A and B are shown apart, each in its own frame.
Chain A
Amino acid sequence: MSALRKAAGELFGLFVEDRAFALAIAIWLATCGALANVHVGSPEARALALFAGLAIILVASVVRDARNIGAPARTRRE
């Protein structure tokens, strides 16, 4: 059972490393899905909004982590 749990954890880890980052992506995808359901905006605008939101989440997450864990690499343990 613990081996199964470990395997499931490893599988989960393939997609989720930083929970806040993954959660932000999931919320944005759910928002885009909800907007698509109620037909807000044109399909082309929704496509561009999907990309723009994800790109902003990427930049924000990188900057947040660089600030939080951004001590020079040589001084940190792996």
Chain B
Amino acid sequence: MTAILSTALPAFLASLVEFVEALTIVLAVGAARGWRSAWIGTLSGVALLALVVAAFGPLLRYVPLGALQLAVGVLLLFFGLRWLRKAILRYAGAIPLHDEARIFARREADLRAGVRGGATDWPAVATAFNAVVLEGLEVVFIVIAVGATAGALVPAALGAALAGGIVTAAGLALRRPLARVPENTLKFSVGLMLSAFGTYWTGEGLGAVWPGGDLALPGLMSGYGIAAAFALTLARRAVRERARTVSV
């Protein structure tokens, strides 16, 4: 139960964010250049991702657990802290919030302004393909990162699949971007989780011992939460001071 919660939940939440971002671009392609191109690009991207997983997935069992923990832990740290940092800066008003509706409108306008490339609209196909592959790679990485080291790949993959199913169903039903998903809150929460996982596995890989064993994970999440709250307070103050300086 612990393994399911500690792997399926972060995989689900992180994948939800990635799927929403991919969906926005695929929908923009479909609306601006036709659904045929959007589908070809999407399905080609999914096929490539399946090939990558099929080719490299089985190799994971040959990697020693210690090396896997360290490698995945370090990558997870970079990935999680990057999300956490960006979410804090967005909360502080230092950088704008991610706006799916605006991104959709801009992408759609760009695509409509472009020239169609013949019977099959290859630029449109490539746009959808790139979005699916890039966001999909992030999903694959997250599933492997939170699942493989904890020996719970299946719950992690199911969490991601559930997120994919929900976003795809919502996208097909609405045919517009899911602008109401609280993306920054999701990124902040997932950033906390992934940073905690990354720190935990990196420490294990470096031979450190976490007080309390697995119970250190919620402690690390709380620790990063406190650090994030402190950073947010200081960042808001810095933004206010800068705004005051600019307006004078």
The chain A residues found within 8 Å of chain B, CB to CB, are 10-11, 14-18, 21-22, 25, 29, 32-33, 36, 42-44, 46-48, 50-51, 54-59, 61-63, 65-67, 69-76, 78
Beyond A21-B85, A71-B243, is A51–B220 a contact (Cβ under 8 Å)? yes
Q: Do residues B210 and A58 form an inter-chain contact, with CB atoms below 8 A?
A: no
Q: Do residues B79 and A14 form an inter-chain contact, with CB atoms below 8 A?
A: yes
Q: Do residues B224 and A58 form an inter-chain contact, with CB atoms below 8 A?
A: yes
Q: Which chain B positions have C-beta within 8 A of A17?
A: 82, 86
Beyond A58-B84, A66-B239, is A44–B209 a contact (Cβ under 8 Å)? yes
Q: Do residues A66 and B234 form an inter-chain contact, with CB atoms below 8 A?
A: yes
Whole-angstrom distance between the Cβ of B110 and the nearest chain A Cβ: 14
How far is it, in angstroms, between the C-alpha of A73 and the C-alpha of B37 when the chains are bound?
35
Q: Do residues A36 and B85 form an inter-chain contact, with CB atoms below 8 A?
A: no
Interface residues of B in 191-230 (CB under 8 A from A): 195, 199, 202-203, 206-211, 216, 220, 223-224, 227-228, 230
How far is it, in angstroms, between the C-alpha of A65 and the C-alpha of B235 when the chains are bound?
8
Q: Do residues B92 and A22 form an inter-chain contact, with CB atoms below 8 A?
A: no
Q: Which chain B positions have C-beta within 8 A of A33?
A: 206
Which listed residue (B75, B94, B211, B246) contacts A73, Cβ 8 A? B94
Q: Which chain B positions have C-beta within 8 A of A15?
A: 75, 78-79, 82
Which listed residue (B88, B137, B195) contacts A11, Cβ 8 A? B137
Which listed residue (A25, A43, A58, A59) contacts B208, Cβ 8 A? A43
Q: Do residues B206 and A66 form an inter-chain contact, with CB atoms below 8 A?
A: no
Flag B52-95 by CB within 8 Å of A: 1 or 0 each.
00000000000000000000001101110110111011001111
Residue ID in chain B nearest A77 by CB atoms: B96
Residue ID in chain B nearest A34 by CB atoms: B206
Beyond A15-B79, A58-B85, 5 extra complex contacts between A and B, CB < 8 Å: A25-B78, A46-B206, A54-B81, A58-B81, A65-B235
Q: Which chain A positions have C-beta within 8 A of B211?
A: 44, 47-48
Whole-angstrom distance between the Cβ of B129 and the nearest chain A Cβ: 12
How far is it, in angstroms, between the C-alpha of A62 and the C-alpha of B77 when the chains are bound?
16
Q: Which chain B positions have C-beta within 8 A of A51?
A: 199, 203, 220, 223
Which listed residue (B74, B89, B228) contacts A66, Cβ 8 A? B89
Q: Do residues B203 and A50 form an inter-chain contact, with CB atoms below 8 A?
A: yes
Q: Which chain B positions have C-beta within 8 A of A74?
A: 96
How far is it, in angstroms, between the C-alpha of A68 and the C-alpha of B106 when the chains are bound?
27
Write 24 A-B pairs (CB below 8 A) sorted by A numbering: A10-B134, A17-B86, A18-B82, A22-B78, A22-B82, A29-B74, A29-B202, A33-B206, A46-B206, A46-B208, A47-B209, A47-B210, A58-B227, A59-B227, A59-B231, A62-B92, A66-B94, A67-B238, A67-B242, A69-B94, A70-B92, A71-B239, A71-B243, A72-B239
Q: Which chain A positions have C-beta within 8 A of B97?
A: 73
